[in-house]
Amino acid sequence: MDGFQEQLWVLLLGSLLGFELIGKVPPTLHTPLMSGANAISGITMLAALTLITRAGENTLLLILGSLALGFALFNVVGGFLVTDRMLTMFRSNRKRPGGSQ
């Protein structure tokens, strides 16, 4: 097997393993785990940006880097939206002294 086929196998097996693990997480643990996923996606974004800048004329690397960047960005933005929604659920509806909420 050449290097590219090995990398595809790692991607496929990693995707299947990730899908299996995430599917078994109970909803009460989803939000705390989301912060860890955001940290990992931040690292993925940096790696994708590095790949894009070093791809040069290689179209395949540009496409893979762009896809990785898009998926990681989607995950980070989604994580922030979920976290913000969770935090609004715990905010008090009472007005605080001083007129601010």
- Please report whether residue 21 resides in a domain: no
This prediction's pTM: 0.55
Q: Domain containing 72: what range? A: 31-87
How do residues 47-80 score in pLDDT, each as one tens digit?
888 888 888 888 988 998 899 899 888 888 887 8
In angstroms, how far apart are the furthest CA atoms of the chain? 68
- Please report whether residue 79 resides in a domain: yes
**Cβ atoms within 10 Å, residue 62:** 14
Q: Exposed, middle or buried: residue 41 (CB in 10 Å: 0-12, 13-18, 19+)?
A: buried
- Please report whether residue 47 resides in a domain: yes
How sure is the predictor about 32, in pLDDT bands with cuts at 50, 70 and 90?
low
Q: Which of 32-36, 56-60, 71-75, 85-89 has the weakest average pLDDT?
A: 32-36
Is 32 in contact with 46 (CB distance < 8 Å)? Answer: no
User: Considering the chain, what percentage of its residues have pLDDT values greater than 90?
Assistant: 5
- Please report whether residue 69 resides in a domain: yes
Instruction: Work out how many domains the chain is built from and give that number.
Output: 1
Is 62 in contact with 79 (CB distance < 8 Å)? Answer: no
- Please report whether residue 41 resides in a domain: yes
- Please report whether residue 16 resides in a domain: no
Letter for the amino acid at 57? E
- Please report whether residue 10 resides in a domain: no
